[in-house]
């Protein structure tokens, strides 16, 4: 949620800054000709609010939270074309179709039109679940974000395409509700239909209104995996909660099941569990730091890379680690000594002991948003060494899927006596 709000604020700042630049000359010319209103300054944005001359009624907000000013006729203010429709190709493994998605007049539902090769039409309507709202693209330029098209890119098996629609929470009073959920649709007998969802993880198939697992990895032709959840016991031993959604194209159902992650019974998902553990720990050295609660108090330390500046270290608030040695000991449980050394040396988050406590630089290594999900394609064994080969989604700057690229090898050294592993080769996702 915080990331969403941060994104909204960033968009607002960028848009308002562009407006200021566009109106700079006009503001300068008029400033000497008339009186000026009292000035106010926004600490959050750094923008002189009196110079913007916006009013609440002038601001238009769409479903993504982006904000822009409705400018006067002939102005250079950004005024994008409203989302109207999106058309995509679709295959049910035997036939080709065109699906057009439009917003109804009341903006309460998506109307889908299916056209086959004989120019025959059928329609279908999608509404948001209770407490959720439609994901309406910000503009026609971003029309493709209205849904995701899932194709079988795992093997040559004929599997119908799947449409995935995301809905966002509009009732923040209920903290038990997920911020975003998904529903899925496909084509059967020449008609669009909803894929029914079931949860069989308890051994009893229960219907689900929607899927609250936001990320789904296409791991096998008829199987999808939600992002695994990693937790640790009091001894810092990792445990991975891993489930799958099995797709039945005949019945048009998605059924959530548990999956065995032991190497003997399921070497593929053993690899996914190990990779999830690697990602979880590596995040402390790439995309986030260990938890910090007190941002008001910090310690300035001369920077190692630049002696003319100081680095700001904040005290870590994580009961698992009191010192750097404890953090290193934990990391060595899962990574080789070389990888541990590389992470501590190269991470933007620097960890050090100050006055007997663990401190860190709060930062991240940045992300390449043209790189998407990584999935395992196959694996090979050499004694106790298992090499998992991967592929990664590649997108263009507009967010459209381009192709898969080599995601690098993920290599672990397995100890069969206790079914543990040590990661010896790991490539950062971003």
pLDDT digits (tens, 9 = 90+) for 96-121: 999 999 999 999 999 999 999 999 99
Alpha helices in 182-323 (DSSP H): 267-282
Residue 74's alpha-carbon distances to 55, 78, 290, 320, 423, in angstroms, are: 19, 11, 50, 60, 60
Dihedral sign, CA of 209, 213, 216, 221?
Answer: negative
Structure confidence by residue, pLDDT tens digits, 18-58: 444 444 444 444 444 444 333 333 333 333 333 333 333 33
Residue 185: exposure state from Cβ atoms within 10 A (0-12, 13-18, ≥19):
buried
Return the exposure string of 379-392: e unless at least 16 CB atoms fall within 10 Å of the residue's CB, then b: beeeeeebbbebbb
What pLDDT was estimated at residue 77? Answer: 75
Give the domain ranges of the chain.
2-69, 85-227+251-259, 289-360
Q: What is the pLDDT of residue 249?
A: 93
Residue 16 confidence (pLDDT): 42
**Dist CA 399 CA 144 (whole Å):** 9
Instruction: Pick left, alpha or beta for residue 342 (phi over 0 → left; psi -120 to 50 → alpha; otherwise beta).
Output: alpha
How far, in whole angstroms, is CA 120 from its chain's centroid?
37
Q: What is the DSSP string of 169-223?
A: E--TT-TTS-SEEEEEEEEETTEEEEPEEEE-TTSS-EEESSB----EEEEETTE
How many CB atoms neighbour CB 406 within 10 A? 11
- Rounded to 10 degrees, what is the CA torsion of 74, 80, 83, 86? 110
Tell the residue number behind the tokens 């700057």, with chain if given: 397
Q: What is the pLDDT of residue 372?
A: 85
Q: What is the pLDDT of residue 292?
A: 94
Decide: 278 and 270 in contact? Cβ < 8 Å: no
Tokens encoding 294: 């007190």
Angle between helices 337-346 and 324-332 (to 10 degrees): 140
Report pLDDT for 430: 53
Give the tokens for residue 412.
């672990």
Using CA atoms, how far apart are residues 404 and 221, in angstroms rounded to an integer? 16
Distance, C-alpha 100 to centroid of its chain: 26
- Alpha-carbon span 302 to 298, nearest angstrom: 13
Cα 156 to its chain centre, rounded Å, is: 28
Tell me the sheet residues that pair with 219: none
Q: How big is the chain by its Cα radius of gyration, in Å?
A: 26
CA distance 76 to 22: 7
| pLDDT tens figures, 200-211 | 998 889 999 999
Instruction: State how beta strands 253-258 and 196-199 pair.
Output: parallel
Contacts of 39 (CB under 8 A, 6+ apart): 48, 49, 50, 51
pTM of the model: 0.74
The SS3 of residue 411 is: strand
pLDDT score recorded for residue 348: 78
- Segments in 100-176 forming alpha helices (H): none
Residue 306 to residues 302, 309, 310, 311, 346, Cα–Cα distance (Å):
8, 6, 8, 9, 15
SS3 state at 343: helix
Asked if 230 and 237 count as a contact pair (C-beta separation under 8 A), the reply is no
* Residue ranges in the chain modelled with pLDDT below 50: 1-72
CA gap 287, 371 in Å, rounded: 14
């Amino acid at each position: 949620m915080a990331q969403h709000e941060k994104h909204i604020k960033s968009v607002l700042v960028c848009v308002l800054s562009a407006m200021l630049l566009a109106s700079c000359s006009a503001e300068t010319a008029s400033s000497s000709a008339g009186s000026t209103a009292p000035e106010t300054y926004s600490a959050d944005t750094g923008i002189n609010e009196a110079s913007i001359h916006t009013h609440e009624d002038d601001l238009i907000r769409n479903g993504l939270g982006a904000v822009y000013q409705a400018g006067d006729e002939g102005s250079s203010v950004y005024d994008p074309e409203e989302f109207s429709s999106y058309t995509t190709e679709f295959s049910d493994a035997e036939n080709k179709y065109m699906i057009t998605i439009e917003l109804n007049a009341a903006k309460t539902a998506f109307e889908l039109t299916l056209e086959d090769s004989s120019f025959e039409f059928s329609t279908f309507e999608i509404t948001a679940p209770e407490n959720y709202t439609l994901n309406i693209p910000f503009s026609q330029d971003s029309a493709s974000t209205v849904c995701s098209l899932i194709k079988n890119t795992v093997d040559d098996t004929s599997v119908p395409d799947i449409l995935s629609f995301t809905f966002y929470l509009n009732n923040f009073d209920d903290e038990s509700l997920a911020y975003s959920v998904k529903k899925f649709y496909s084509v059967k007998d020449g008609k669009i239909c909803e894929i029914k969802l079931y949860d069989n993880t308890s051994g009893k198939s229960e219907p689900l209104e929607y899927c609250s697992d936001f990320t789904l990895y296409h791991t096998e032709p008829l199987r999808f995996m939600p992002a695994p959840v990693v937790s640790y016991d009091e001894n810092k031993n990792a445990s991975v909660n891993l489930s799958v959604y099995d797709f039945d194209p005949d019945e048009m159902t998605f059924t959530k099941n548990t999956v065995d992650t032991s190497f003997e019974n399921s070497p593929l998902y053993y690899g996914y569990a190990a990779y999830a553990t690697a990602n979880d720990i590596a995040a402390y050295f790439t995309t986030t730091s260990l938890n910090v609660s007190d941002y008001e108090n910090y310690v300035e330390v001369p920077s190692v890379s630049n002696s003319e500046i100081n680095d700001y270290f904040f005290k870590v608030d994580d009961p698992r680690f009191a010192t750097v040695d404890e953090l290193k000991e934990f990391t060595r449980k899962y990574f080789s000594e070389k990888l541990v050394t590389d992470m501590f040396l190269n991470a933007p988050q620097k960890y050090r002991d100050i006055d007997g406590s663990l401190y860190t630089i709060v930062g991240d290594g940045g992300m390449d948003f043209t790189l998407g999900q990584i999935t395992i394609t196959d694996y090979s064994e050499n004694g106790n060494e298992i090499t998992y080969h991967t592929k990664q989604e590649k997108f263009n700057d507009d967010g459209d899927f381009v192709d898969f690229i080599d995601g690098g090898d993920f290599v672990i050294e397995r100890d069969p006596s206790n079914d543990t592993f040590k990661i010896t080769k790991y490539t950062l996702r971003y």
